[in-house]
Structure 1
Amino acid sequence: MAVAHAGLGDRQAAIRSLGHAGEALTKAQDTAVARPSWTAFYGSAELWALHSIAHLQLGQAQQAEAHSHRALAQLPGQFRRNRAMATARLALAQLGQGDIEHATIGSTVFALMTGVPLPGRMRTCSATSSAAHHWPSTANGGASTWTSHPPTESRPPSACPS
Protein backbone atom coordinates (compact mmCIF):
# COMPACT_ATOMS: atom_id res chain seq x y z
CA MET A 1 0.00 0.00 0.00
CA ALA A 2 2.82 2.42 0.85
CA VAL A 3 4.30 2.18 -2.64
CA ALA A 4 0.87 2.73 -4.21
CA HIS A 5 0.25 5.78 -2.02
CA ALA A 6 3.70 7.12 -2.88
CA GLY A 7 3.02 6.58 -6.58
CA LEU A 8 -0.06 8.73 -6.17
CA GLY A 9 2.01 11.40 -4.41
CA ASP A 10 0.29 10.90 -1.04
CA ARG A 11 3.27 11.20 1.29
CA GLN A 12 1.29 11.04 4.53
CA ALA A 13 -0.56 7.86 3.55
CA ALA A 14 2.67 6.26 2.30
CA ILE A 15 4.51 6.97 5.55
CA ARG A 16 1.52 5.76 7.59
CA SER A 17 1.40 2.51 5.56
CA LEU A 18 5.12 1.95 6.10
CA GLY A 19 4.55 2.39 9.83
CA HIS A 20 1.73 -0.16 9.79
CA ALA A 21 3.95 -2.60 7.87
CA GLY A 22 6.71 -2.16 10.44
CA GLU A 23 4.29 -2.84 13.29
CA ALA A 24 2.95 -5.94 11.55
CA LEU A 25 6.47 -7.25 10.93
CA THR A 26 7.39 -6.72 14.58
CA LYS A 27 4.29 -8.62 15.71
CA ALA A 28 4.99 -11.44 13.25
CA GLN A 29 8.58 -11.76 14.46
CA ASP A 30 7.53 -11.68 18.12
CA THR A 31 5.05 -14.55 17.92
CA ALA A 32 5.93 -18.15 18.61
CA VAL A 33 3.84 -19.21 15.63
CA ALA A 34 5.92 -20.17 12.63
CA ARG A 35 5.37 -17.98 9.59
CA PRO A 36 4.51 -19.62 6.25
CA SER A 37 7.63 -20.39 4.21
CA TRP A 38 6.49 -18.14 1.35
CA THR A 39 6.90 -15.14 3.68
CA ALA A 40 10.49 -15.98 4.63
CA PHE A 41 11.92 -13.27 2.36
CA TYR A 42 9.93 -10.59 4.15
CA GLY A 43 11.99 -9.22 6.99
CA SER A 44 13.49 -5.93 8.01
CA ALA A 45 15.63 -5.75 4.85
CA GLU A 46 12.53 -6.00 2.65
CA LEU A 47 10.77 -3.37 4.75
CA TRP A 48 13.73 -0.98 4.34
CA ALA A 49 13.65 -1.67 0.59
CA LEU A 50 9.95 -0.73 0.52
CA HIS A 51 10.81 2.47 2.39
CA SER A 52 13.38 3.24 -0.30
CA ILE A 53 10.93 2.62 -3.14
CA ALA A 54 8.29 4.85 -1.54
CA HIS A 55 10.75 7.68 -0.91
CA LEU A 56 12.09 7.44 -4.46
CA GLN A 57 8.56 7.76 -5.80
CA LEU A 58 7.96 10.74 -3.53
CA GLY A 59 11.12 12.43 -4.87
CA GLN A 60 12.90 12.18 -1.50
CA ALA A 61 16.27 10.94 -2.67
CA GLN A 62 18.17 11.48 0.58
CA GLN A 63 15.74 9.35 2.58
CA ALA A 64 15.67 6.73 -0.19
CA GLU A 65 19.46 6.49 -0.07
CA ALA A 66 19.48 5.97 3.70
CA HIS A 67 16.84 3.24 3.45
CA SER A 68 18.69 1.54 0.58
CA HIS A 69 21.83 1.39 2.71
CA ARG A 70 19.82 -0.17 5.55
CA ALA A 71 18.27 -2.73 3.20
CA LEU A 72 21.65 -3.69 1.72
CA ALA A 73 23.17 -4.06 5.18
CA GLN A 74 20.48 -6.52 6.24
CA LEU A 75 19.88 -8.49 3.03
CA PRO A 76 21.04 -12.11 3.22
CA GLY A 77 23.72 -12.94 0.66
CA GLN A 78 21.60 -15.53 -1.13
CA PHE A 79 19.04 -12.88 -2.16
CA ARG A 80 21.01 -11.73 -5.22
CA ARG A 81 18.04 -10.28 -7.07
CA ASN A 82 16.92 -8.26 -4.04
CA ARG A 83 20.51 -7.05 -3.52
CA ALA A 84 20.76 -6.03 -7.18
CA MET A 85 17.46 -4.16 -6.99
CA ALA A 86 18.43 -2.39 -3.75
CA THR A 87 21.77 -1.44 -5.31
CA ALA A 88 19.99 0.02 -8.33
CA ARG A 89 17.70 2.04 -6.06
CA LEU A 90 20.73 3.26 -4.11
CA ALA A 91 22.31 4.47 -7.34
CA LEU A 92 19.10 6.24 -8.34
CA ALA A 93 18.85 7.92 -4.94
CA GLN A 94 22.42 9.13 -5.28
CA LEU A 95 21.70 10.37 -8.77
CA GLY A 96 18.66 12.17 -7.38
CA GLN A 97 20.98 14.10 -5.10
CA GLY A 98 23.28 15.02 -7.98
CA ASP A 99 25.95 12.54 -6.90
CA ILE A 100 26.62 11.12 -10.35
CA GLU A 101 30.03 9.70 -9.39
CA HIS A 102 28.60 7.43 -6.68
CA ALA A 103 25.52 6.62 -8.76
CA THR A 104 27.74 4.73 -11.18
CA ILE A 105 27.87 1.89 -8.65
CA GLY A 106 24.61 0.88 -10.29
CA SER A 107 26.74 -0.98 -12.81
CA THR A 108 27.46 -3.50 -10.04
CA VAL A 109 23.85 -4.61 -10.47
CA PHE A 110 24.93 -6.44 -13.60
CA ALA A 111 27.84 -8.08 -11.77
CA LEU A 112 25.46 -9.26 -9.02
CA MET A 113 23.18 -10.81 -11.62
CA THR A 114 25.87 -12.45 -13.75
CA GLY A 115 24.66 -15.78 -15.06
CA VAL A 116 21.06 -15.11 -14.04
CA PRO A 117 18.39 -13.65 -16.32
CA LEU A 118 17.37 -10.16 -15.27
CA PRO A 119 13.79 -10.03 -13.95
CA GLY A 120 11.35 -7.98 -16.02
CA ARG A 121 11.26 -5.12 -13.53
CA MET A 122 15.01 -4.72 -13.86
CA ARG A 123 15.03 -4.97 -17.67
CA THR A 124 12.31 -2.47 -18.42
CA CYS A 125 12.77 0.37 -15.97
CA SER A 126 14.56 3.58 -16.73
CA ALA A 127 16.44 6.04 -14.54
CA THR A 128 14.34 8.80 -16.04
CA SER A 129 11.06 7.11 -15.09
CA SER A 130 9.26 7.10 -11.75
CA ALA A 131 10.72 9.64 -9.39
CA ALA A 132 13.61 10.99 -11.43
CA HIS A 133 11.51 13.84 -12.78
CA HIS A 134 11.18 15.21 -9.21
CA TRP A 135 14.91 15.73 -8.84
CA PRO A 136 16.64 19.00 -9.70
CA SER A 137 19.78 17.13 -10.75
CA THR A 138 18.01 15.67 -13.76
CA ALA A 139 17.49 19.16 -15.14
CA ASN A 140 21.21 19.43 -15.90
CA GLY A 141 21.22 16.13 -17.77
CA GLY A 142 22.37 13.96 -14.86
CA ALA A 143 19.92 11.17 -15.55
CA SER A 144 20.50 11.20 -19.28
CA THR A 145 24.26 11.10 -18.71
CA TRP A 146 23.89 8.15 -16.37
CA THR A 147 21.74 6.16 -18.78
CA SER A 148 23.57 7.10 -21.96
CA HIS A 149 26.50 4.82 -21.13
CA PRO A 150 25.17 1.28 -21.45
CA PRO A 151 27.22 -1.54 -19.98
CA THR A 152 29.47 -3.48 -22.30
CA GLU A 153 27.23 -6.53 -21.87
CA SER A 154 24.11 -6.99 -23.96
CA ARG A 155 21.86 -6.07 -21.03
CA PRO A 156 19.71 -2.95 -20.81
CA PRO A 157 21.51 0.09 -19.34
CA SER A 158 19.20 0.80 -16.43
CA ALA A 159 17.65 -1.01 -13.53
CA CYS A 160 15.26 0.78 -11.23
CA PRO A 161 12.51 -1.43 -9.86
CA SER A 162 9.58 0.37 -8.37
Structure 2
Amino acid sequence: MQLLGHGFYYQDWSVGWKFKTLTRSITETDIMNFVGVSGMTEELFTSYWYLEEHTNFEGRLAPGSLVFALAEGLVIPSTIARTGLAFLNCSLNVDGPTFAGDTIHVEGEVTEIKPAKKGNRALVRTLNKVYNQKGDLVQTYDPLRMMRGRPEED
Protein backbone atom coordinates (compact mmCIF):
# COMPACT_ATOMS: atom_id res chain seq x y z
CA MET A 1 0.00 0.00 0.00
CA GLN A 2 1.36 3.45 -0.89
CA LEU A 3 1.81 5.95 1.93
CA LEU A 4 0.49 9.35 0.86
CA GLY A 5 1.99 12.60 2.10
CA HIS A 6 5.50 11.25 2.66
CA GLY A 7 8.16 13.81 1.78
CA PHE A 8 10.99 13.60 -0.69
CA TYR A 9 14.34 12.10 0.20
CA TYR A 10 17.34 14.25 -0.64
CA GLN A 11 18.22 11.93 -3.54
CA ASP A 12 14.85 12.76 -5.13
CA TRP A 13 15.97 16.35 -5.61
CA SER A 14 18.66 18.00 -7.70
CA VAL A 15 20.00 21.53 -7.73
CA GLY A 16 17.63 23.59 -9.85
CA TRP A 17 14.52 21.51 -9.04
CA LYS A 18 11.55 23.83 -8.45
CA PHE A 19 8.26 23.48 -6.60
CA LYS A 20 5.14 25.51 -5.90
CA THR A 21 2.89 24.97 -2.88
CA LEU A 22 -0.84 25.19 -2.49
CA THR A 23 -2.26 28.45 -1.10
CA ARG A 24 -3.24 29.61 2.36
CA SER A 25 -5.26 32.71 3.29
CA ILE A 26 -4.19 34.71 6.34
CA THR A 27 -7.07 35.69 8.59
CA GLU A 28 -7.55 38.31 11.26
CA THR A 29 -7.86 35.44 13.74
CA ASP A 30 -4.49 34.02 12.61
CA ILE A 31 -2.86 37.38 13.29
CA MET A 32 -4.47 37.95 16.68
CA ASN A 33 -3.75 34.38 17.85
CA PHE A 34 -0.12 34.66 16.70
CA VAL A 35 0.55 38.01 18.39
CA GLY A 36 -1.17 36.77 21.55
CA VAL A 37 0.77 33.52 21.76
CA SER A 38 4.10 35.12 20.81
CA GLY A 39 3.68 38.22 22.96
CA MET A 40 4.27 40.32 19.85
CA THR A 41 1.64 42.87 20.83
CA GLU A 42 3.11 45.74 18.83
CA GLU A 43 0.43 48.27 17.87
CA LEU A 44 1.23 47.65 14.20
CA PHE A 45 -0.52 44.31 14.66
CA THR A 46 -3.14 45.11 17.31
CA SER A 47 -4.48 48.62 16.73
CA TYR A 48 -6.48 49.83 13.74
CA TRP A 49 -6.21 53.36 15.17
CA TYR A 50 -2.40 53.20 15.20
CA LEU A 51 -2.29 51.93 11.61
CA GLU A 52 -4.63 54.68 10.46
CA GLU A 53 -2.91 57.51 12.34
CA HIS A 54 0.76 56.53 12.05
CA THR A 55 1.21 54.46 8.87
CA ASN A 56 0.08 54.41 5.27
CA PHE A 57 -1.04 50.76 5.53
CA GLU A 58 -4.67 49.87 4.96
CA GLY A 59 -5.89 46.79 6.81
CA ARG A 60 -4.61 44.51 9.56
CA LEU A 61 -0.87 44.02 9.06
CA ALA A 62 0.52 40.49 9.55
CA PRO A 63 3.88 40.05 11.34
CA GLY A 64 6.67 38.81 9.05
CA SER A 65 7.35 35.97 11.47
CA LEU A 66 3.74 34.80 11.08
CA VAL A 67 4.07 34.87 7.29
CA PHE A 68 7.29 32.84 7.59
CA ALA A 69 5.60 30.30 9.88
CA LEU A 70 2.63 29.92 7.52
CA ALA A 71 4.95 29.61 4.53
CA GLU A 72 6.83 26.81 6.30
CA GLY A 73 3.44 25.24 7.03
CA LEU A 74 2.84 25.11 3.28
CA VAL A 75 6.32 23.81 2.41
CA ILE A 76 6.99 21.15 5.06
CA PRO A 77 3.98 18.83 4.63
CA SER A 78 4.29 18.87 0.85
CA THR A 79 8.07 18.38 0.59
CA ILE A 80 9.83 17.01 3.69
CA ALA A 81 7.25 15.27 5.89
CA ARG A 82 9.13 12.39 7.60
CA THR A 83 12.33 13.18 5.67
CA GLY A 84 13.32 16.49 7.22
CA LEU A 85 15.63 15.98 10.19
CA ALA A 86 16.55 19.51 11.22
CA PHE A 87 16.10 23.16 10.31
CA LEU A 88 19.61 24.60 10.65
CA ASN A 89 19.45 28.24 9.51
CA CYS A 90 18.20 30.73 6.97
CA SER A 91 18.36 34.36 6.00
CA LEU A 92 14.98 36.05 5.72
CA ASN A 93 13.88 39.17 3.87
CA VAL A 94 10.47 40.77 4.20
CA ASP A 95 9.99 42.14 0.70
CA GLY A 96 6.54 43.64 1.18
CA PRO A 97 3.62 43.85 3.60
CA THR A 98 1.11 41.06 4.14
CA PHE A 99 -2.39 41.71 5.47
CA ALA A 100 -5.38 39.85 6.83
CA GLY A 101 -7.23 38.57 3.79
CA ASP A 102 -4.10 37.98 1.72
CA THR A 103 -3.55 34.51 0.28
CA ILE A 104 0.02 33.29 0.06
CA HIS A 105 1.86 30.48 -1.67
CA VAL A 106 5.55 29.53 -1.82
CA GLU A 107 7.71 28.93 -4.86
CA GLY A 108 10.99 27.21 -4.09
CA GLU A 109 14.13 26.07 -5.82
CA VAL A 110 16.80 23.66 -4.58
CA THR A 111 20.07 25.59 -4.58
CA GLU A 112 22.45 23.25 -2.74
CA ILE A 113 22.74 19.57 -1.80
CA LYS A 114 25.71 18.32 0.21
CA PRO A 115 25.56 14.61 1.09
CA ALA A 116 27.05 13.77 4.49
CA LYS A 117 30.04 11.44 4.66
CA LYS A 118 28.03 9.06 6.85
CA GLY A 119 24.52 8.62 8.11
CA ASN A 120 22.59 8.63 4.79
CA ARG A 121 21.62 12.27 5.03
CA ALA A 122 22.45 15.57 3.37
CA LEU A 123 22.38 19.29 3.88
CA VAL A 124 19.83 20.78 1.48
CA ARG A 125 19.23 24.49 0.89
CA THR A 126 16.31 25.94 -1.00
CA LEU A 127 15.46 29.49 -2.01
CA ASN A 128 11.82 30.03 -1.05
CA LYS A 129 9.80 32.98 -2.30
CA VAL A 130 6.44 33.83 -0.78
CA TYR A 131 3.90 35.54 -3.03
CA ASN A 132 0.47 36.99 -2.31
CA GLN A 133 -2.64 36.58 -4.44
CA LYS A 134 -1.67 39.60 -6.57
CA GLY A 135 1.68 38.03 -7.46
CA ASP A 136 3.60 40.44 -5.21
CA LEU A 137 6.75 39.01 -3.61
CA VAL A 138 6.27 39.45 0.15
CA GLN A 139 9.07 37.34 1.63
CA THR A 140 12.23 35.50 0.62
CA TYR A 141 14.12 32.97 2.73
CA ASP A 142 16.71 30.26 2.16
CA PRO A 143 16.41 27.45 4.70
CA LEU A 144 19.25 24.98 5.19
CA ARG A 145 17.86 21.65 6.34
CA MET A 146 19.23 18.24 7.21
CA MET A 147 17.31 15.66 5.18
CA ARG A 148 17.12 11.86 5.18
CA GLY A 149 18.27 9.65 2.37
CA ARG A 150 16.29 6.75 0.97
CA PRO A 151 16.18 3.82 3.44
CA GLU A 152 17.65 1.34 0.95
CA GLU A 153 20.84 3.43 0.88
CA ASP A 154 21.61 3.05 4.61
Q: Same fold (TM over 0.5)?
A: no
More helix by share: 1
Between Structure 1 and Structure 2, whose CA radius of gyration is higher?
2
Q: State the structure with bigger RCO (CA 8 A, min sep 6), 1 or 2.
A: 2
> TM-score scaled to structure 1, two decimals?
0.24
